[in-house]
Chains A and B, each alone.
Chain A
Amino acid sequence: MTITTRDQLIDALGNNSSRIIINKTSSNSNAAGTFRSYWRETGQPAQGAIPTAAATCNNATIGGVSFAQQTSQATSYLALLEAASTVSGQTLEVHDRLAHMGGLSGTVTTAQTVGLDLETLLGTDNIAARIGDSNYSDVLWWLEWYTATGSTAVTATINVTFNDGTTNNLSTLSLGASQPVGRLWGLNTLVQAADAGKFIRDVNTVTLSATTGAAGNFGVTATRYRAGVFAPLANARYTQDWAQLGIPSIPNGSCLFPILLPSATGSTGLLATGKIAHG
């Protein structure tokens, strides 16, 4: 059965839930207004590996928050999230890390193959349920940095395939000098006006306009946003209950991990707890 009443939700919170624990500190300073992945930070959950070839992530992937998998028709829901940050004005987001790839180089100026096609991965790790809407409109796409690239600012062109099967380049992305570990650049906002109404299904290639000066390591990551909590003051705990969260479903196989949106620059420690209710 699924949870359909408040009593069932309360019962699940108290008697049938999985804990979320996030305890990490960023290894370098976060810039205000830029998304930051904590995938590669040590702590809890454990440090995720740098991906190589395109692959899905699941609830057993190191780097994600594990939780009890349910047998249909039982479902899981994110019902409670609390967070505290060592820097004021931070927003903790919890994303389901659907799939990723890495190994792109900051010194290569030809089209680099990404080949991260969610359509071919729908039958793996419950991706079909985890992407949300079947038109891929719930999927967020990112360039993610695993090792810092060089000090020359460059422009990136990303070629994608949309949900209707057409392909095109996104608008170019200006990458400032010295992209740090953990930096995330959102790609969904780069869909050109000519492709309005389409949603990215697959990232095909990334082309840099020039060498950044250092190879580094970056890749492409697909996530689905599940919940967030804003911590306006440093070192104070803020809570989002089930009503504020909207009890987003957490399908089996979800690989939950933290992304930070800082409004103040600094190296940020995150401490978050929560509950995934089952029923």
Chain B
Amino acid sequence: MRLTKQQFIDRLDPKEIAGILAAAKVSVEVEAWLFRFNSVTPDPDGTSIDLRDPRTVAGLHGMEHAGLLSSGRAVEILSEGVSAPGGFDEHAGIKRGDSVRVLPPFDLSFPDPLLVESITAADDGAVVFFLAGAGSFARHFLESLK
């Protein structure tokens, strides 16, 4: 499964990110992993991170071994079915990372296909799809392009 860098970061808890950044200041190994992560450029499909790439797998397990991730988190982050903290991977036939078209009456302002960045629940429990560069939409304003 391939992800954009933003989607990969969404899989980490903010405290985990803070711990990794702090560790990078004192550990060359962690700094090297971060260097590789920052250096990676997106492929034509917009994604950069392959959850099955041995370097990704080794890096996350190494962080777990070093105590930067709690036990079991590496497997969880690498899992294709895991949810980002507080979010969903899929809802009503649309997954995070899918391309969608916005339907009327918002189509004129957002005519191009857009990427689903996150799927979360609003305060009233209704599921909301956040599209990159466009904001939040209810399911009935979206058409999956897959």
Interface residues of A (CB under 8 A from B): 107, 109, 111, 150-155, 157, 159, 169, 171-172, 174, 207, 209-214
In the complex, the answer to whether B105 meets A212 with C-beta atoms within 8 Å is no
Which of B37-45, B53-61, B84-92, B122-130 lies at the interface with chain A? B122-130
Which of B14-22, B24-32, B63-71, B137-145 lies at the interface with chain A? B137-145
How distant is A206 from chain B, measured CB to nearest CB, in Å? 10
> 21 pairs across A/B with beta carbons < 8 Å?
A107-B126, A109-B141, A111-B105, A152-B122, A153-B135, A155-B137, A157-B105, A157-B106, A157-B109, A159-B105, A171-B109, A174-B135, A207-B105, A209-B136, A209-B138, A210-B122, A210-B138, A211-B122, A211-B124, A212-B122, A213-B126
What residues on B are CB-neighbors of A151 within 8 Å? 122-123
A210 CA to B127 CA, complexed, in Å = 9
Q: Which of A111, A171, A213 is the most central at the interface, judged by chain B CB atoms within 10 Å of its CB?
A: A213
**Which B88-146 residues have C-beta < 8 A from chain A?**
105-106, 108-110, 122-124, 126, 128-129, 134-138, 140-141
A212 CA to B121 CA, complexed, in Å = 10
In the complex, the answer to whether A150 meets B136 with C-beta atoms within 8 Å is no
Given contacts A210-B122, A211-B122, list 13 more A-B pairs with CB under 8 A.
A150-B123, A153-B136, A154-B136, A155-B135, A209-B106, A209-B137, A210-B129, A210-B141, A211-B124, A211-B138, A213-B122, A213-B124, A214-B123
In the complex, the answer to whether B123 meets A209 with C-beta atoms within 8 Å is no
Whether A155 touches B138, Cβ cut-off 8 Å, given contacts A213-B122, A213-B124, is no
What residues on A are CB-neighbors of B105 within 8 Å? 111, 157, 159, 169, 207
In the complex, the answer to whether B122 meets A155 with C-beta atoms within 8 Å is no
Whether A107 touches B137, Cβ cut-off 8 Å, given contacts A155-B106, A157-B106, A172-B106, is no
A154 CA to B122 CA, complexed, in Å = 11
Q: Which of A111, A150, A172, A211 is the most central at the interface, judged by chain B CB atoms within 10 Å of its CB?
A: A211
A161 CA to B122 CA, complexed, in Å = 32
What residues on A are CB-neighbors of B136 within 8 Å? 152-155, 209-210
Choose one: A111, A209, A211; the contact of B135 (CB below 8 Å): A209
What residues on A are CB-neighbors of B110 within 8 Å? 172
How distant is B79 from chain A, measured CB to nearest CB, in Å? 27
Choose one: A150, A159, A172, A214; the contact of B109 (CB below 8 Å): A172
In the complex, the answer to whether A211 meets B108 with C-beta atoms within 8 Å is no
A212 CA to B106 CA, complexed, in Å = 16
How distant is A85 from chain B, measured CB to nearest CB, in Å? 34
How distant is B136 from chain A, measured CB to nearest CB, in Å? 4
Whether A209 touches B124, Cβ cut-off 8 Å, given contacts A152-B136, A169-B108, A174-B135, is no
What residues on B are CB-neighbors of A157 within 8 Å? 105-106, 109
What residues on B are CB-neighbors of A210 within 8 Å? 122, 126, 128-129, 135-138, 141
What residues on B are CB-neighbors of A211 within 8 Å? 122, 124, 126, 128, 138
How distant is B49 from chain A, measured CB to nearest CB, in Å? 27
Q: Which of A150, A152, A207, A212 is the most central at the interface, judged by chain B CB atoms within 10 Å of its CB?
A: A152
How distant is A176 from chain B, measured CB to nearest CB, in Å? 10
In the complex, the answer to whether B135 meets A150 with C-beta atoms within 8 Å is no
What residues on A are CB-neighbors of B128 within 8 Å? 152, 210-211
A171 CA to B128 CA, complexed, in Å = 22
